[in-house]
Structure 1
Amino acid sequence: MSNNNTRRTFIKQAGMGLLALPAASLAVNMPVTNHASNAPVLAQVKKLVLNIRDFGAVGDGQTKDMQAIQQTIDRCSVLGGGIVLVPAGNYLTGAIQLRSLVTLNLEKDAVIIGSPDLKDYAVMQVRWEGKWIQGYSGLIYAVGAKSIAIQGAGKIMGSTVVGGRPTADNPLRRPALIEPIDCTGVEFSGFSTEYRVMWSIHLTYCNAVTIKNLHIRSTGGNGDGIDVDSCENVTIDGCDIATGDDCISLKSGRGMEGYTLLRTTQNVHISNCTFADSIFACIGIGSETSGGIRNVTIENCKFTAAKTFALYMKSNVGRGAFVENISVNNIEVTGMEGGLLRFNLSGSGLQDQVPVPGLEGIPTTKNFSFTNIKVTDVPVLVDGVGVHPSKPLDGFTLSNISGTCKKGISLANIKNAKISGINVKGYTGPLLSTYNVTGNGLESAAALPQPKTPDMIPVPATPYQLK
């Protein structure tokens, strides 16, 4: 038999084999011929759906199902993508990696439970407090993936045993619950999470992210709800978040490493959410801001509890970069132990081992707007004195604020301020106190003593090199 005939026979047999595959396996679009025009078109093929039970998952809460879950995800991805179905059951697992074009669908009463054994988590480069270090991966993580999703009415629970902070005995960063890194096209919707002493959702270097209708519970220590870390084009909508640390934290790196990489967190839209915090703030912007933060909109949200402030803007001398174009509109604030809003833009957070030196190391801040806000019994309306005089905040709007507070507004080192429509009751002392502030609506302001200012970072003898 000739080589050509052998090849034809093989192709024919291979084709017959494909016809024998289940229809659900054909997850890719297959070209067919449009005989009217003799041009190829794409046939509509049913999306692939693979059930983790069919690959050996038990779901009894005792058997470790990570191999079965990972095999299902991997096969779904290599077959062109689709849905990995997690039916009702309790699935104990170590770290699992989400792949491109895969949606993890958690059915009602499906619970993914994180292993208490750190050996079940991958060790890799992860972000911790604005620096890339060695650490354990998230319980569910992805690296460089495209078009990934977790959806459904199920639940993801982390083990309290593996939470916590790096220590001298174990310097590896502890696992986050869900952690996509350098991913494009990310969607999380509908499910609930439970974790503590570590972050629930940590997005790093991601683009085009949608987070909708999540129920996040993370209390007892450094348990942020959602960390947006050097990401862009992020939408967070309709979420109910109660945490031990920031409900949502926006950050972009720390010190010369973050400043050199310059991966900005930008174009973030947060809406229709409810926040409660028991240790720090509801929404924190910073303090790791060395890659810059810009274009953030927060609207139509309820802030129901915070140990400090509903909104906390924080950075430090030595961060460099910028925080700009921050807009907050139509929010309700109750249950605050600190107040509505605080700026600490020149002395917050850990100083980096290699900070950004000189005037360049003082963050540039501009265009902060807070409008149409209702407050109930907040101890402080605005603590806005933590701005470095070498780089005043350029553009600050505070308007249409109503409700009750115990203390008014203190501002320092701001230009182009616009204060209007402050209709609050119950406060003692002056409603507005300022130092080195220019703009409109300041006519009745009381004088504020000059705030203390941290020194700039000296320029080192040896220039920084990224390594």
Structure 2
Amino acid sequence: MMKLRTVLCFLLLVAGLNTSAQLYNIKDYGAIGDGKTMNTQAIQKAVDAASAKGGGKVVVPAGSFLTGTVHLKSGVELNLEPNAVLLGSASLADYERNDRWYALLIADKQNNISITGKGSIDGQGHDLAMSILKLVKNGAIKDPLVLRRPNETFRPQLIELQRCNKILVKDVTLKNAACWVQTYNLCTDMVFDSVKVRSTAYWNNDGFDIVDCQNVVVKNCDVDAADDGICLKSSDASSACENIVIQDCKIRSSASAVKFGTASLGGFKKIKVNNIFVYNTYRTAVALEIVDGGIMEDVEVSNITAKNSGGGVFIRLGHRKTTVPPGIIRRISIKNVNVEIPAGKPDEGYGIAGPPEEDIFPHNLMPVIIVGLPGHPVQNVSLENINIVTAGAADKKKAYVSLDSIPKIDERASDYPEYVMFGELPAWGLYARHAENISIKNSNFKYVQPDFRAPFVFSDVKGLVMDKVNVPAVISSEAVILHQVSGSSIKNLKTPLPGKATVYTLK
């Protein structure tokens, strides 16, 4: 049903692009594309004129059109022709904010909005961020400068749409944001098709932020971002991200490629992620997180290829928002995943690269992590056709967890969720703790250089199935370490273990 609904949503929006719509060329309203003249009023006049007539196509022709905040309105298609650049001002004074953040393009409670064309939107993010930093240091803006950068709420995004319905973003290039590139909050019926994101100008450059939205398709997109690539968030406990398809995308990130969270008050429901190519990504290819009391359920992840990624899959049920009970993660299906994890930093050489986390949380490589809380397990996770190749070469001098220390690994229940949050873990393939009904089938885990740790460690798990799991490399430990595991079925586990048992139960 979800697939049919999202396809219908897509067809409806595409059909809504009226090729015979009246055209409103921004030059006819006084815009000058020299990259120097401020065109905010001219562009807004064109948008207002189209809206007053019930809708139309506002055309940005070839040229570089400097502008501050423009308010998009119902029925308006903003069309950027080839070689057209909507150039964001480098001065905060030229931006407006809604009840959330500053942005170059803003809309609230509008319908039938489109941003299309082969042109680009350039936020001049580095210069804009530097000018805001100067305002902070001069005392014009009160900001504690956490992490030595201006607060996110002072750094304009390229697009911020909220409480809108029927949105299409197609073919455009979005680049050089000073903060998150684009946020869609409490919106419905959206399609993003063939959008290119090139935003590594400054910190917090998430490629997509989709917040508490329903009926969404993200397809054929190409993202290179200094923060999370495609990120679903839930900031409203009474709402959720629901009925969403993310497919046929290419992602590079100095954080995680596909991420649900960190904000997770309402949750994430009925979501499909399919056919994603991930490369040079600092953290994990797929991160699924509930830490603020929300519910994540009925998530299908399939056909993921990740080359040069810091981790493969990270699933975390935490308790960051302590004023509400812990949330729920259940019914997660992950299949056909191929991940290659290097020895060094996967995003080495990028301008805004991930921090040296191994200095903060010393650890060896950790491909797959599933961790809940005591009494609040991650439930019903199926892993099938998972192929992990890790560089291996773990070093006890860097980090080491002995078998008798497994029960003592810090819960870090309220910590910000990242795959390195626990420091060293005792498994080089898959580590699961506080989980229920975990199934791993038809999968291969191998390293390039030997690793002293066990391939698989399970702690406080009820219901474990392993079938046709292959560890081809000779290992120095038992293949599977069990601690407080009940209801397990482990069969057809293939691994060369001369003189060792395949499964070891920790007393």
Per the normalisation by structure 2, the TM-score is: 0.71
1:55 and 2:29 equivalent?
yes
Alpha-carbon shift at residue 448 of structure 1 (Å): 5.1
Q: Partner of 1:420: helix, strand, or coil? A: strand
Q: Provide the rounded CA distance (Å) in 2 between the counterparts of 1:146 and 1:91.
A: 25
User: Which consecutive unaligned segments of at least 5 residues does structure 2 have?
Assistant: 1-17, 144-150, 343-364, 393-427, 468-478, 486-507
- The residue that corresponds to 1:299 in the other structure is 274
| SS of equivalent to 1:221 | coil
CA 1:416–1:330 in structure 2 vs 1: closer, same or farther (change >3 Å)?
A: same
Q: Which one of 284, 302, 307 corresponds to residue 329 of structure 1?
A: 302
- What residue is the counterpart of 2:368 in the other structure? 382
Aligned to 1:29: none
User: Deviation of residue 377 (structure 1)?
Assistant: 3.4
Offset of residue 447 of structure 1: 2.5
**Aligned equivalents of 2:240, 2:51: Cα separation in 1:** 30
> Structure 2 counterpart of 1:157, which letter?
D
Deviations 1:375-422 (A, max 9, x none): 22364320223x112221121001111241232011111112111011
Aligned to 2:381: 396
Superposed counterparts of 1:15-164, under 5 Å: 46-126=20-100, 135-136=101-102, 138-160=103-125, 161-163=127-129
- Structure 1 range deviating more: 423-432 or 205-214: 423-432
Taking the aligned partners of 1:118 and 1:449, their CA distance within structure 2 comes to 56
The whole-number CA distance in structure 1 between the counterparts of 2:114 and 2:177 is 23
Deviation at 1:46, TM superposition (A): 4.0
Residue correspondence of structure 1 range 246-395 to structure 2 within 5 A: 246-253=228-235, 258-259=236-237, 262-278=238-254, 280-316=255-291, 319-337=292-310, 339-346=311-318, 351=320, 355-357=322-324, 361-377=325-341, 379-385=365-371, 387-395=372-380
Please say if residues 215 and 240 of structure 1, whose CA atoms lie closer than 8 Å, have aligned partners that are also in contact. Answer: yes
Alignment of 1:234-249 (within 5 A): 234-249=216-231
8 A contact 1:238–1:273 mirrored in 2: yes
**Matched-pair contact (CA < 8 Å) for 1:267–1:295:** yes
Q: How many residues align?
A: 379
Distance 1:66 1:390 in 2: 55
The letter for the 2-side match of 1:325 is: D
Equivalence for 2:433: 412
* Residues 157 and 183 of structure 1, relative CA distance in 2, 3 Å threshold: same
Q: Deviations over 1:41-90 (max 9, x none)?
A: xxx99421111111111111100011111000110011111111111000
Q: Work out the CA distance in 2 between the residues paired with 1:306 and 1:45.
A: 39
SS of residue in 1 equivalent to 2:265: coil
Letter in 2 for 1:63: T
Given that 2:118 and 2:172 are in contact with CA atoms closer than 8 Å, whether structure 1 keeps it comes out as yes
| Residue deviations 1:214-265 (CA, integer Å, cap 9, x gap) | 1101113111000011111111101110111100111111xxxx33xx1211
Cα separation, 2, equivalents of 1:267 and 1:173: 32
1:203-222 Cα shifts (integer Å, max 9, x gaps):
11110010010110111311
Distance 1:321 1:345 in 2: 10
Match of 2:9 in 1: none
Q: Partners in 2 of 1:377 and 1:448 — Cα distance?
A: 27
Q: Does 1:180 align with 2:161?
A: yes
SS, match of residue 262 in structure 2: coil
Structure 2 SS opposite 1:72: helix
Asked whether the 8 Å contact 1:269–1:297 carries over to 2, the reply is yes
Give the direction of change, closer, same or farther, for the CA distance of 1:159–1:265 in structure 2 (3 Å limit). same
Contact 1:50 1:72 (8 Å CA) reproduced: yes
Please say if residues 176 and 198 of structure 2, whose CA atoms lie closer than 8 Å, have aligned partners that are also in contact: yes
Using the alignment, how far apart are the partners of 1:183 and 1:99 within structure 2? 10
- Decide which of 420, 438, 446 is 2:462's aligned counterpart: 438
Q: Provide the C-alpha distance between the structure 2 equivalents of 1:143 and 1:61, rounded to a whole number of angstroms.
A: 28
From the superposition, tell whether residues 197 and 120 of structure 1 become closer, same or farther in structure 2 (CA, over 3 Å).
closer
Query: Which residue number in structure 2 is paired with residue 23 of structure 1?
Result: none
Distance 1:432 1:390, change over 3 A: same
What letter matches 2:34 in structure 1?
Answer: D
Residue 32 (structure 1) aligns with:
none
- What is residue 207 of structure 2 aligned with on the other side? 225
Moved more, 194-203 or 226-235: 194-203
Distance 1:294 1:163 in 2: 35
On the 8 A contact 2:122/2:177 being kept in 1, the answer is no
Question: Counterpart of 1:388 in 2: which secondary structure?
Answer: coil
Structure 1 residues 420 and 117 mapped into 2: Cα distance closer, same or farther (>3 Å)?
Answer: same
Does the 8 Å contact 1:281/1:309 carry over to 2? Answer: yes
- The AA in structure 2 aligned to 1:251 is K
CA 416–149 in structure 1, closer or farther in 2 if over 3 Å, else same: same
Separation in structure 1 between the aligned mates of residue 282 and residue 316 of structure 2, nearest angstrom: 16
* Contact 1:86/1:104 (<8 A) preserved: yes
* One-letter identity of the residue aligned with 2:268: I
Q: Deviations over 1:131-187 (max 9, x none)?
A: xxxx42x10111111001000100000022434899771575421111111110000
Q: 1:45 to 1:411 in 2, by over 3 A?
A: closer
CA distance in 1, matches of 2:483, 2:157: 43
Q: 1:332 to 1:75 in 2, by over 3 A?
A: same
The residue type paired with residue 420 of structure 1 is: K
Name the counterpart of 1:6.
none
Distance, in Å, in 2 between the alignment partners of 1:79 and 1:69 is: 16
**Which AA in structure 2 matches 1:183?**
C
**Which one of the candidate residues 423, 433, 440 is aligned to 2:444?**
423
Per the alignment, do residues 403 and 321 of structure 1 end up closer, same or farther by CA in structure 2, a change over 3 Å counting? Answer: closer
Provide the rounded CA distance (Å) in 1 between the counterparts of 2:316 and 2:378: 12
One-letter identity of the residue aligned with 2:192: I
- The farther-off stretch of 116-125 and 74-83 is 116-125
- Paired with 2:483 and 2:456, the residues of 1 have a C-alpha distance of 9
Deviation by residue 1:1-35 (Cα, 9 ceiling, x = unmatched): xxxxxxxxxxxxxxxxxxxxxxxxxxxxxxxxxxx
Q: Please, which runs of 5 or more residues in structure 1 have no aligned partner?
A: 1-43, 127-134, 451-467
Counterpart residue identity of residue 392, structure 1 = P
